[in-house]
């Protein structure tokens, strides 16, 4: 996924979204505040599972999986809040960029209430590591990687809650 291209080329972003709409991976939905809150609760649930299992150094791959799904459900809360549903992880990040992205200058000014390049990169990096953790036979995740992801996911969930409170 070329994050820079998605941020810099709005036509490319729109074409990517249109592809997923045509393939019924993205749908418009009715407003559903209960579903938004359910996704936030599921994000926190997955984060709680991560915290319970953090002491088990042997299972770093599953810690990555739990952190990814905490991030993913927070992302689903945001797109649901904009009356979209997604059945594809890439489509979800496209919608996040479209619905919550602002210009880079504005991003610096209003960084706390927008989804920027850093969050998009966190999403894609953690998605790749979640895939590796789920399907690879290697266990390659260090304690530092896990702690960094934990901090970033917690910040992201807090940012999502701030965004939702503002709307």
- pLDDT, residue 120, reads 63
- The C-alpha atoms of residue 146 and residue 64 are separated, in whole angstroms, by 7
Q: Write the pLDDT tens digit of every residue in 91-111.
A: 998 898 899 874 444 333 333
Total domain count, the chain: 1
| In the predicted structure, residue 121 carries a pLDDT above the cut 90 | no
Q: Write the pLDDT tens digit of every residue in 58-76.
A: 888 788 888 888 989 999 9
Q: Which of 70, 72, 75 is nearest to 52 (CA)?
A: 70
- pLDDT, residue 137, reads 67
Q: From residue 23, how far is each of 16, 26, 30, 49 by CA, in Å? A: 11, 8, 20, 33
- pLDDT, residue 119, reads 66
- pLDDT, residue 106, reads 35
- What range does the domain containing 147 cover? 3-166
Residue 61 maps to which CATH number? 1.20.120.330
- pLDDT, residue 26, reads 98
| In the predicted structure, residue 114 carries a pLDDT above the cut 50 | no
Determine which of 31-35, 64-68, 117-121, 123-127 has the lowest per-residue pLDDT on average. Answer: 117-121
- pLDDT, residue 132, reads 77
* Token output for 162: 């701030």
Q: CA Rg, the chain, in Å?
A: 16
Instruction: Give 134 or 35, the one with higher predicted confidence.
Output: 35
Q: Which of 1, 36, 29, 31 is nearest to 16 (CA)?
A: 1
Q: CA neighbours within 13 Å on the CB side: how many for 124?
A: 16
């Amino acid at each position: 996924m070329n994050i820079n291209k998605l941020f810099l080329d709005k036509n490319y972003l729109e074409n990517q979204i249109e592809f997923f709409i045509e393939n019924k991976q993205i749908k418009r939905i009715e407003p559903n505040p209960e579903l938004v809150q359910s996704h936030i609760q599921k994000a926190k649930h997955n984060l709680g599972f991560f915290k319970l299992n953090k002491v088990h150094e042997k299972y770093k791959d599953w810690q990555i999986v739990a952190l990814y799904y905490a991030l993913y459900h927070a992302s689903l809360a945001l797109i649901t809040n904009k009356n979209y549903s997604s059945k594809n992880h890439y489509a979800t990040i496209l919608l996040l960029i479209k619905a919550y992205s602002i210009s880079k200058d504005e991003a610096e000014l209003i960084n706390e209430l927008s989804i920027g390049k850093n969050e998009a990169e966190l999403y894609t990096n953690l998605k790749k590591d979640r895939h590796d953790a789920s399907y690879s036979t290697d266990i390659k995740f260090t304690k530092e990687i896990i702690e960094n992801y934990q901090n970033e996911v917690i910040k992201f969930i807090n940012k999502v809650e701030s965004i939702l409170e503002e709307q």
